[in-house]
Structure 1
Amino acid sequence: MTISAKKKSSSGIGKLVLRIFLLIQALVVLYPLLWNVLASLKTNAEVMESPWSLPSALNWDNYVRAFTTAKIGDYMLNSVIVVIMSMAVLLLTAVPTAYVLGRMRFRGRSFLTNFYMAGLFIGGVYIIVPLFMMMNDLHMLDNRFWLSAVYATGSLPFSVFLLTGFMKSIPHDYEEAAMIDGCGYFGTLFRVIMPMARPGIITLIVFSFFDFWNEYVLAMTFITSDAKKTIPIGLSNLMAIQQYATDWGSLFAGLVTVLVPTIVVYALLQKKLTQGMMLGGVKG
């Protein structure tokens, strides 16, 4: 056997092993999700007596009870409102900041860049006590907008760090051409830079959506009324209730309902997310 044939044979074996490993990993990830979906369609007796078997019938009443009794719909609506407001505040602050730090030269730029990068090491959980005291003094607790502002502020350093790399990768020729045509800084940003940095912005939106949608500690601390609680808090309350009500079908139905938005967002933006992650490593 020649050397080239040996290389091809070893390469083929390596690819086969890699595919088997990835297949096993995919099954490990997908099986709990599939089991959750099947459990959401079972009766309580089937969940307890035969958790690994298929449901004898499709009990869609579990989803009805999840929305009526467990109020999953109200919690999801609160999460949607909080995520939308958080995303709006984050994009309105992160995009112009990254544009300035990534494409302009001025005294103090390095200091501001390092200042934002230092924020990467400060998690919201670590400063939750002084933050709670400050928001309590300013009467900001139990308010969905101020919770959104906290989310956006906590994600701002990473967002600026991510978008700055995309801003630097855009050639300056486009910016100079826009300036010659009469665009100011804001016009250049919104008409030229933002469309070209769209993969980076979509990447930021996906990461931020997952972060805001699943956040638990800050929402648990700053939101006190049941009518304003987000979906992680609602699921936690639902799990505590099911310890005594034993309505496992509605619990799993609520879990499946919460997973649907994240799956849909990732499925719709997966290609853009991959493109954005690849372009993020390119520097102009």
Structure 2
Amino acid sequence: MATIRVKDWTKKELRRIRDAESHSSYDSVIKSLLKDRKIAKYANDDGGTAMGESGQSQAADIDKAFDDLTVLAELTGSHDGVLFLWCPNCGNELVHLTAEQPLGLSVFEMECQRCLTRLDSQAIVAIELRYPIEQKMIEGQLQTDLKSCVMDYWDRTLEAAANNTLETEAPTDRLVWQFDQYHKQFTWDWPTDVPTVSFVPGVTYRNTATDERIEVVEAVTENRNAMDSYKIRRCTADGDVVPDQLDSSTVVDWIVNRKLVVTEQSVGTTTPAT
């Protein structure tokens, strides 16, 4: 007889449902859950439950890269009431939880037990039940999707900040600092066709407003909760190389207004001081 391995939390939930609803077996519990899921799907298709409407309206309102992967900061509801929270840095499952409708997580922080990165809602990915986790893991695609989901969120968030349509109480310069810190911790190469969210020593950027190339040399300040100022080399369109220094407010302005794109980057990036 074929067997299915499940986690302890899943087994406890199945046992709880079996006892509460007087099922004769776990097989009966699963069949009942599948039946309820199918009924809920039909109800949602007909404009049914409030939970379904909440999940559907969220997906319709946010133009994001994945339907069933969402950075926790912009998650307002769940289609199924269950969320799996994952670390985008190492591809580790952090926790799974039952979500209320509407979802209210004003502050959420935790440490990934695998890579020991301290994460908050700006860098945790919520995966819904409909996303094929096991298939993606077998295909080696899961961590790529997690990374793409976070990058897409950071890019859209700063674009909204530039357009004054950002719906958050967090100051824009604070968001830039957070994204910059995470990007450096994760040591991700940033795509050249998406404006950067970070300012990394060893990387050369192009200012799309002036067509200047900006080579980042090193930080000249050690701010713990704000962007640093940097020593740079300006490579002008005429081929001149001019040493200069950028203050932190200029760095933030360029990043928020999506002026910088990566042209050259080293193999690794600089991990921020802790």
The question of a shared fold, defined as TM-score above 0.5 by the shorter chain, is answered with no
The structure with the greater share of residues assigned to strand is 2
TM-score norm. by structure 2 comes to 0.23
Q: Which has the higher helix share?
A: 1
